Amino acid sequence: MGYNMSNKTMKTVLNIIFLSIVITSYAQEKPKKTFKEKLDASLVLSYDMSYEFDSEKLQKTELILKPEFIYKFNRRSKLVFKSQIYSEFQDNLETGTPRETMVSNFSKRLFIDDKTSLELREFYFYTRFKNKLRVTIGKQQIVWGETDGLKLLDIVNPQNFRRFILEDFEDSRIPLWSVKTEFDINAIGVQLIWIPDNTYHITQDFDAPYFTKNLFKALPNGVAMEFRQVQRPERFFKDSDIGIKLTTFAKGWDLSLNYLYHYDDLPVFYNTLSQFNSVPTITISPKYERQHTLGGTFNKVIGSSTFRGELVYVFNQNFSSNNPNANSAVEKSNVYKSALGIDYIKGEYVFSAQLFNEWITEDIIPFNRDRFETNATFLASKEMLNDNLKAEILWVHSMNNKDGFITPSLNYWLNSNTQLILKSHLFYGKDQFLFGQFTNRNNVSFGFKWGI
């Protein structure tokens, strides 16, 4: 069996969903409503056109249709279906038809042509047993963490980096085929997850606008490069991700403790130097590696303010290294991460500030980053015109590298179904750093969302 789910395995998953539907439908009260009364259907159409200042060309022209169907069998059980029809008329963000080698067969998009794709975003069955046990089976998003702008503990679902980190979290996450079980033990909420879907981050090709070139070292003169196919996990059960989340409320604090045994969603780039036809050649062999991640969240409301934070400890994370003695140009270290934030609301104003820290605990020499790094974010928004107009600005800044980006936006509701959006993304900093590498991608965009 290859690295993707086999047809037999997929049929088993679908049979489990079907049997769960049948069992809960008969086990609970008989339905009294008609099919039409039980079905909730909605459709969201969004359009976004982005102009790039540096190239003086359109960066993208994007049209997205999001149909959604929710069928409620009864008060305890429902079937959710969410799909997406995506078209990018410029074909700039993902040039050609993406190969998606990092995505399992049953999570891949269906490409009609180079510009248009169909995607099953979510398809899951949810049921409650006597209000004590809650089970969700199928393709879904599982959200951990509470940060804005940058992710810390939100690591269960991989991400599509088509537009770097500029898209909303919900849109950028890649839903996975998984099983989520939730129940309570006294005052502690327990969430157990099992993810057999071997899908990882969708990163961009070398010629894409948002290719993160700062992940790779520049080749010395006269040195060639061979980029081998990525080594993926192949075992359906043994290579599954599993996790547990515990939540409680104590003395005004919402607390959680999270643990995930998973594959890092970015591969490790092992490097070796050899001679090929008398030409020095660096061979890059990407491979996905296992990781243990332990973390937690906390938040408390005090008056008009909310104090919140996340703590994360990653065991033996792999880093590309500048150490000439490093094995295959890779070194390992435990990593401690934290995020502290405060939200303040005063009338129509909302202010939010966050401080992110990341500390590589071992004395290693990581490539293109410091052992201790700090990022800060600031978000301010105000609602006006009877809440029909919202002005917002997000600022993300790296303390170490003095680079970042600013995103001002205006959202105006024409009516309850139609929203107009004006937004800009402005990067700054030196070209070799994470945010600064996209200074030539500064843009302004106009779009709308319409829903029924």
Q: What is the pLDDT along the chain (452 residues), one digit of tens a residue?
A: 344 445 555 565 566 666 655 555 555 555 578 888 899 999 999 999 999 999 999 999 999 999 999 999 999 999 999 999 999 998 999 888 888 889 998 899 999 999 999 999 999 999 999 878 999 999 999 999 889 889 999 999 999 999 999 999 999 999 999 999 999 999 999 999 999 999 999 988 888 899 998 888 887 888 888 888 899 998 889 999 999 999 999 999 999 999 999 999 999 999 988 877 778 888 899 999 999 999 999 999 999 999 999 999 999 999 999 998 999 999 999 999 999 999 999 999 999 999 999 999 999 999 999 999 999 999 999 999 999 999 999 999 999 999 999 999 999 999 999 999 999 999 999 999 999 999 999 999 999 999 99
The Cα–Cα gap between 169 and 159 comes to 8
Residue with the two structure tokens 């129940």: 183
Question: Which of 143, 135, 32 lies closest to 77 in space, CA to CA?
Answer: 135
Computed from CA positions of residues 204, 210, 212, 214, in that sequence, does the dihedral angle turn out positive or negative? positive
The sheet carrying 279-287 orders its strands as 224-227, 279-287, 268-276
What is the four-CA torsion angle of 18, 24, 25, 27, rounded to 10 degrees?
140
Each domain of the chain, given as residue ranges in start order, spans: 1-140
**SS3 of residue 138 by DSSP:** strand
